[in-house]
Structure formats: C-alpha cells, structure tokens
C-alpha cells in the first residue's frame, strides 16, 4: 500500500529538499507544499521516466566512490592547471573509445557524469548500442592505461553498486 502511494521515496525526499532550498524557507507550510509537490511529481511524472528500478546492491560503495571522485577531481584540477599554465606544445589531446561492460542506465549516466566532471576529460558520445564511450582527453600518455583506469576506478564500482 505504501509503495503504491510513494513509488520513488528517495526522489520525493530529494524534491522536498530542493523545494525548501529554492524557497529558502523551512516553514511548516513550505515543507507541506514541498511534500505535496514531491509526491505528485514522483508519482505522476517520474513513473514514466524510470527505465529500470534502481536497486542498490552495495550502497556503502557509493560513499567510497563519491570520495574517490572528489579526490580525483581535486588532483585533476591541479594537473590541468599545470598543463594549461605550461607550454601548450606539450599537450597531446586525443579521442579514445572506452569499451563498456555496464548496461544499467543509471550506472552509465553516472559514469558519463564522473568522466565529464574530471578536469582534462570529457565524454563526447555514448554509442547507440551503449557499448562504447568516446572520451576526449586533454593530455594522453597511454590510451590503454587510461581505459583501464576508467574501467577499474569508475565503471567497476558502479557495476557493483547497481548489480550490473
């Protein structure tokens, strides 16, 4: 019964938090309005958006992955700053194709986001069959090493988190 009223409880909670932050007011009336909007949106609108139910097999790995991504972003910021401030002749930009093992829509979305958030890399395209990810790299040393790094640091943990 409760599952039918709240098909996506986490989405409802996130929408309530976003509403309160947008309104910059934590009054009871604003919380109630946020709750009503969150429930209606998650019940009516988002029901057609979910392609597959989101099921976390190892949710604690998500915290570890988030920490790893934050550290990687900080390190990449420093590396890119040093590259950009130095002579541009030593930059070796390239496009690489990363073969994907994951088929879960949310895991692929997070993988594309993580790779694009890291300075120095940008996802240019996900193939139509979702088996290849085209990544632009600002400075490429070794293509095989970068592919292995993306697969082991990001795709592997995402596959464990979402049971792909």
What are the backbone dihedrals phi and psi of residue 41, each rounded to the nearest 5 degrees, phi first?
-65, -45
Distance CA 45, CA 20 (A): 20
The 3-state secondary structure of the chain, one letter per residue: CHHHHCCCHHHHHHHHHHHHHHHCCCCHHHHHHHHHHHHHHHHHHHHHCCCCCCCCCCCHHHHHHHHHHHHHHHHHHHHHHHHHHCCHHHCCCEEEEEECCCCCHHHHHHHHHHHHHCCCEEEEEECCCCCEEEEEECCCCCHHHHHHHHHHHHHHHHHHHCCC
Indicate whether this model's pTM tops 0.75. Answer: no
Distance CA 9, CA 18 (A): 14
Q: Do 134 and 95 meet the contact criterion of CB atoms below 8 Å apart?
A: yes
- CATH of segment(s) 60-161: 3.30.70
pLDDT, residue 5, reads 64
pLDDT, residue 1, reads 58
pLDDT, residue 66, reads 93
pLDDT, residue 53, reads 62
The domains of the chain are located at 2-48, 60-161
Low pLDDT (below 70) residues in the chain: 1-7, 45-54, 164
15 by Cβ neighbours in 10 Å (0-12 / 13-18 / 19+) ranks as: buried
Percent of the chain with pLDDT over 70: 89
């Amino acid at each position: 019964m409760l599952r039918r009223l709240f098909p996506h409880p986490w989405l409802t909670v996130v929408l309530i938090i976003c509403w309160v932050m947008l309104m910059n007011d934590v009054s009871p009336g604003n919380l109630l309005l946020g709750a009503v909007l969150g429930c209606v949106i998650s019940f009516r609108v988002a029901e057609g958006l979910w392609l597959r139910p989101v099921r976390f097999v190892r949710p604690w790995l998500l915290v570890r992955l988030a920490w790893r991504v934050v550290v990687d972003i900080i390190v990449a910021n420093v590396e890119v700053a040093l590259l950009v401030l130095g002579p541009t002749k030593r930059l070796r930009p390239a496009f690489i194709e990363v073969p994907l093992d994951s088929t879960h829509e949310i895991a692929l979305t997070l993988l594309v986001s993580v790779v694009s958030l890291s300075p120095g890399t940008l996802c240019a395209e996900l193939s139509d069959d979702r088996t290849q990810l085209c990544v632009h790299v600002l400075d490429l040393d070794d293509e095989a090493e970068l592919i292995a790094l993306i697969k082991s640091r990001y795709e592997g943990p995402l596959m464990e988190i979402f049971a792909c």
